[in-house]
Amino acid sequence: MDTVKQSNCNCYRGRFAPTPSGPLHFGSIITALGSYLDAKSKKGTWLVRIDDIDQSRNKLDADKIILDQLEQLGLIWDEPIVYQSQRIDLYTIAFKKLEKLKCIFSCDCPRKEIKGIIYPGTCRNKIHALNSNQSIRIKTNNTPISIFDRLQGYYSQSIDSEIGDFIIKRADGYFAYHLVAAVDDGEQNITHIVRGFDLLDSTPRQIFLQKKLKYKTPAYLHLPIAIDIKGKKISKTDKVTKFVASNPKRSLVNALIFLGQSPPPGITGSDIKTILDWAIDNWSIELLPSKSKIHYSPYLK
């Protein structure tokens, strides 16, 4: 078993990395607030990174809307904003390192034939040069990657048998999420990652790449995700956007309640700074619900 040594650096560096496919919704506010409070309660640095590598998903001015929403919520970043679309050189360097390690290969398997299944290794042993018009996958193995999530506890995954060789560069030329996330977190010296439970099963793949690229592994904490009464993950809607814009204090307090932090009654009568100061001083991982999903309807309307 491959035991992962996670960063225990006292110089806490956390991040929030939204995709600019639309405005913040309640689920992303939970993640933003949780990551912010975890950093600030440890007198750490909190960064915002715009994950805009996939240009096909980006919406016009969504990044500006997101940053404006964060400011309304009082969640102010400590260093200049980083955009993935401006870091292609870094991903290219990492890609070439993996190429030198001879651990990546071109794959021409039709997506519709392998979507939703464990990649069977069809193209792994073909002898040919990397083809820029095909997906590029990384060769995995079955050495279990195990972490201890700060909220969810022990988690382990054998990538080869549970996921298979996964894509690090898509056939359309975009670098894939797992590679860019590993590079960004490594290059920004991120020590702690707080994000949604839906990304927990991605963590071993990112750790696998961190190890290949000689980056340190951050400490992870995966928060429960908010779902509606039909069990669907809360998504980006105009209604939520307007709610955040007109009621940022209630948005914060609702997120605190969702996160089990029990803000005092009447705190919505205070200003944003007072709410956040209370939340930072009283932030407790022990109070966080360790469930993967929680039904949500606004606690304060």
List C-alpha distances in Å: 90 to 9, 94, 230. 24, 6, 41
Q: Identify whether the C-beta of residue 162 lies closer than 8 Å to the C-beta of residue 118.
A: yes
Tokens of 9: 């650096």
Max CA pair span of the chain? 67
Does residue 225 fall inside a structural domain?
Answer: yes
Does residue 299 fall inside a structural domain?
Answer: no
The answer, as to whether pTM is greater than 0.75, is yes
Q: Which domain holds residue 255?
A: 2-294
Does residue 132 fall inside a structural domain?
Answer: yes
Number of Cβ within a 10 Å radius of residue 152 = 19
Q: What is the residue whose two structure tokens read 């102010």?
A: 76
Does residue 300 fall inside a structural domain?
Answer: no
Whichever domain contains 220, its CATH number is: 3.40.50.620
Does residue 14 fall inside a structural domain?
Answer: yes
Determine the Cα–Cα distance for residues 104 and 169; give it in Å rounded to an integer: 10
Tokens of 60: 């016009």
Does residue 205 fall inside a structural domain?
Answer: yes
Does residue 50 fall inside a structural domain?
Answer: yes
Does residue 121 fall inside a structural domain?
Answer: yes
Count the domains in the chain. 1
Determine the Cα–Cα distance for residues 155 and 1; give it in Å rounded to an integer: 12
Q: Identify whether the C-beta of residue 95 lies closer than 8 Å to the C-beta of residue 169.
A: yes
Q: What is the pLDDT along the chain (301 residues), one digit of tens a residue?
A: 444 545 445 699 999 999 999 999 889 999 999 999 999 999 999 999 999 998 888 888 999 999 999 999 999 999 999 999 999 999 999 999 999 999 999 999 988 888 888 999 999 988 777 887 899 999 999 999 999 999 999 999 999 999 999 999 999 999 999 999 999 999 999 999 999 999 999 999 999 999 999 999 999 999 999 887 777 887 665 355 455 556 899 999 999 999 999 999 889 889 999 999 999 999 999 999 988 888 776 655 5
